[in-house]
Amino acid sequence: MTGPVTAGQDSARAGLISGFLAGAGWQDSVLLWLPGDASFRRYARLTRGSETAMLMDAPPPLEDVRPFLAVAEHLLRLGQRAPRILARDEQAGLLLLEDFGDTTFTRALAAGAPEEPLYRDALDLLIGLHRHANASTIDLPPYDDALFLREAHLLTDWYLPAVAPEADIEAARTGLTAALTPLLALARQVPQTLVLRDYHVDNLMLLPGIQPGDGPRGLGLLDFQDAVIGPVTYDLVSLLEDARRDVPPALAATLLARYAAAFPEIDPAALDLSCRIMGAQRSMKIVGIFTRLSRRDGKHRYLTHIPRLWRLIARDLDHPALAPLSAWLDAAIPPEIRTTPETPA
């Protein structure tokens, strides 16, 4: 095996990886580590002649590959294009996966691919998944109030002290719980299904030989190890209210109408309200996550997206039912301090 196997790793981890690849028959491959993301997982592409595969290095106890395996196999049973598992060592946190190539939606869009066909395909994939009778027939945690609130409290626990060090964090947490909890019940007035949780353009792949508009079967799915069972609207707003890029409002409205037309049994008002609540909760969570990535992990590039997230939050809170959450936010984090946190010295 060639390539920087030991780069950024201790020798014991490098030895585990070498042994795993030898056992999988890929010991003579060329290995190239890919740039990292917001997690502790790392990926490398293996090349062996004309064949390629992807290595997932998810070192325990920081990561656990078992949820990824369970959801990937479930998605494959449902007819979705999750990566096929070529080899596994769950104890070591190592997986060998089918290689979907390099064309994420993000890269396709940056290269000039038309937005509407790509987003329509992604939306149609969700429609097909949500229509599948067996989508939720997997043993996954529910997206319950405790989890929603734990995520939302990332805003008060990480962002608030970064922009207002003198703030009463416990009072802010209590107020957020009181404002958000009744809304979560309203958000669940839509069907429950498999929620992938990170359904956005960075985790959607345009498979080799596929063009935008060819349909959802040409899309590969990544980064679904945190899947739960929850409202159908969560992945919908993950796609349409992207934390990392602006989705044109007219396109988002067209896609939401397309989803609503596919499910006439869902009350449109309930669908819209659930989207607003899920969107606000998700964006508040991500403001906290991006602040934590900067403060705790030294990954400051995510801070550039915080202004976009505040715009999304303001848009979602512009609904009468969300007035209590809006009032809490104005008191706890007034508009004048909704800034991008400074990079720690």
* pLDDT tens digit sequence for 254-275: 999 999 999 999 999 999 999 9
Query: How is residue 201 written in tokens?
Result: 């353009």
- What is the torsional sign of CA 37, 40, 41, 47? positive
pLDDT-based confidence at 25, cuts 50/70/90? very high
Share of the chain above pLDDT 70, in %: 97
Q: What is the pLDDT of residues 145-163, one digit of tens each?
A: 999 999 999 999 999 999 9
Work out the mean pLDDT of the chain and round it to a whole number: 95
| Amino acid 38: pLDDT | 60
pLDDT-based confidence at 78, cuts 50/70/90? very high
Looking at 4-18, 180-194, 295-309, which range is the least confident one?
4-18
Q: What is the mean pLDDT of residues 308-333?
A: 98
Task: Assess contact for 71 and 62: CB atoms under 8 A.
Answer: no
| Amino acid 178: pLDDT | 98
Task: Assess contact for 270 and 191: CB atoms under 8 A.
Answer: no
